[in-house]
Chain A
Amino acid sequence: MNDQPDATEPLEEEVRDPYLEYGTALAERLGGRAVVEHDTIRIYVDRSNWVETIRRARDEEGLDFFSWLTGIDWSKDVEVGDTVAEPDELEERFEVMCRLSSVEGVAGAHFIAALPKDDAVIDSITGVFGGAEWHEREAHDMFGIEFTGNPNLSPIYLPEGFIGHPLLKSYPLLAREVKPWPGTVDVEDMPPEPEEPAGGGEA
């Protein structure tokens, strides 16, 4: 339903993917590389063009709705959770991702800039979108990414004096260090039965 092309129809070859067309054209105009899958447009840009791309997307492409900004930690080794599908081929890096969309229609794209792990610095886009300040603070908390030009890069979620960046793949889930999970509690060996009934019930 919902006007999705029916896979059994012979027309399928000719059905245009509007997202692919839009994403490719958008990337060409803004000078990036587009990857479109599942109607989700990703545009990879160089970090030196980060602020400029965001500004042009807002001014020239009408993507003026600042939706969110976050980071991604691409790591070969993970402390908790699943690893990437092919760890050997992965280039370890941070990605800063910002979603802009429009308040007129479905148009929207995710702009991504890759940062090397040992130099996780990128220019702040707070000058373009005031709302980005909190999102950049969050990414700073969670990944340790520095945003040059953010007026107030203080911790937003983490308490003062907190050590580490929780969303890094190298960061352990502390609750699990204390108590293994999942399901381990249920299958834990029962304590050995005492030889004689402990009798009485005195605590």
Chain B
Amino acid sequence: MNEEYRALMHRSEVAVSVELQTQDMTLNIGPQHPSTHGVLRLVAQVDGERISSVEPVIGYMHRGYEKLAEVRTYAQMTALVNRIDWVSGFASEVPFIVAVEKLMGIEPPERAQWIRLILTELFRISSHMVFTSSYPLELGATTPLFHVLRERERVLELIEGMTGGRFHPNFNRVGGIKPAAGGGKTQKKVSMDIPEGWLEATRAAMERVLLSTEQSDTLVTGNELFKARTVGVGVIPGNKAIEYGLSGPNLRASGVPFDLRKHEFHLPYDQVDFNVISAPGGDCYDRYWVRLQEIRESVKIVLQAIDKIPEGPLRAKAPRVLKVPKGQIYVRGENPKGEFGYYLISEGGQKPYRLKIRSTSFSNLSILPWVLKGALVPDLVAVMGSLDFVLGDVDR
């Protein structure tokens, strides 16, 4: 064996004896990735299949609503605030309007309050159905999407029948609600009411919604593949959820049965009977399960409200030009995604001096770096989807 060959042999031995080194890889997801529900970007450091750290990059959709609020009159603001979380626009209108009403000392008539309650619940059903349809899709199940969205369409039709808009109702007015769409000429008092047959149609649609939750049960809830992807994945313990300000179904799935509907009564939730759904596990499966059960509770609320809704006017007297007395107020409500609140500072003018928007998804998303640390890459989409955020709600 000649020297040259011997040297070559030696070198190859050296190469083999060197330990395999792995290097952290930067994995960039988004901002146009379908599983991010919009324009969220994640910069993840991955060590093989493990995520060692993840840094969400947000702000692609920052529209500056808090600044815009300072140059809009109160009446103009409802059109903006229902675009914060566009899946549940009506639910984010209500706390703002209530804040203005409280500062002005206006009490909306009871019928208007009940209509607000029904619409809030319809939007909750609609929002949760978006989740129960799209979450299995993110995990690879296509069928539930079509079944659930088909029934959700009925809810959207109801919303459209009442408000004229499917996503952006812009339906609240200071002192009550605006005359419903299809109510005829608004000058006539009799026709300034909810459309004829709307309550009956709602009752019928609620049955379809219940059927769809049963379909979800048979297709998804007990599905072994779905369980394998979600049970024990992305566990958030209750104390961490509280520390990060998680609210809504995300908090309740971590074993904290806190629901603002049982505590803040600017809508007549104290007069309807419903359960607060919570689950102890804090994993993706529980977050799915809580939302599915909440659809059923919302149906219960809507059906009770239809029976209880009183006759009467839809709107209290309010000045045409809204001048809100000086004061500071915080009003929060249970948005489908959790605590949604407005801290309103009025200095007596026609515009807010400062409006802080406590949007739910911003806090709900802020736990992402914590919960994804050490998770597997394939679980990333499962965990992210289970938090049910809307990017408009994150960025405002």
Contacts and interface: CB of A to CB of B under 8 A. Distances in A.
Interface in B52-85: 58-59, 62, 64, 66-68, 70-71, 76
A68 B353 contact: no
Interface residues of B, number: 54
B245 A65 contact: yes
B245 A70 contact: no
B356 interface: yes
A67 interface: yes
B339 A67 contact: yes
A166 B366 CA distance: 22
Nearest to A133: B366
A100 B354 CA distance: 19
Nearest to B108: A1
Contacts of B76: 182
B59 A159 contact: yes
B363 A68 contact: yes
A110 B265 contact: no
B244 interface: yes
Given A106-B264, A110-B330, A131-B366, A82 B245 contact: no
Interface in A1-20: 1-3
A2 B266 CA distance: 7
A156 B56 CA distance: 9
Q: How large is the interface on A (under 10, 10 to 19, 20 to 34, 35 or more residues)?
A: 35 or more
A81 B347 CA distance: 11
Nearest to A169: B70
A40 B330 contact: yes
B86 interface: no
B330 A156 contact: no
Nearest to B263: A106
Contacts of A167: 66-67
Contact of A67 (B263, B266, B358): B358
Nearest to A87: B347
Contacts of A131: 243-245, 363, 366-367
Interface in A83-140: 83-85, 97, 99, 103-106, 110, 129-131, 133-135
Contact of B243 (A38, A39, A66, A135): A66
A103 B242 contact: yes
Nearest to B265: A2
Interface string B364-396: 001100100000000000000000000000010
The 9 closest A-B pairs by CB, nearest first: A131-B244, A81-B70, A82-B349, A157-B59, A103-B258, A38-B329, A134-B366, A2-B265, A157-B62
11 contacts: A37-B329, A38-B102, A38-B328, A64-B243, A66-B245, A68-B363, A80-B70, A82-B349, A82-B351, A83-B349, A131-B367
Interface of B: 58-59, 62, 64, 66-68, 70-71, 76, 102-103, 107, 110, 113, 240, 242-245, 247, 251, 256, 258, 263-266, 268, 270, 326-330, 339, 341, 343, 345, 347-351, 353-354, 356, 358, 362-363, 366-367, 370, 395
Given A68-B245, A85-B347, A99-B358, 14 more contacts: A38-B103, A42-B328, A65-B247, A80-B70, A81-B70, A81-B71, A81-B351, A81-B353, A82-B351, A110-B343, A130-B240, A131-B245, A134-B363, A166-B67
Interface of A: 1-3, 37-40, 42, 64-68, 70, 72-73, 80-85, 97, 99, 103-106, 110, 129-131, 133-135, 142, 155-159, 166-167, 171, 173, 176, 181-182
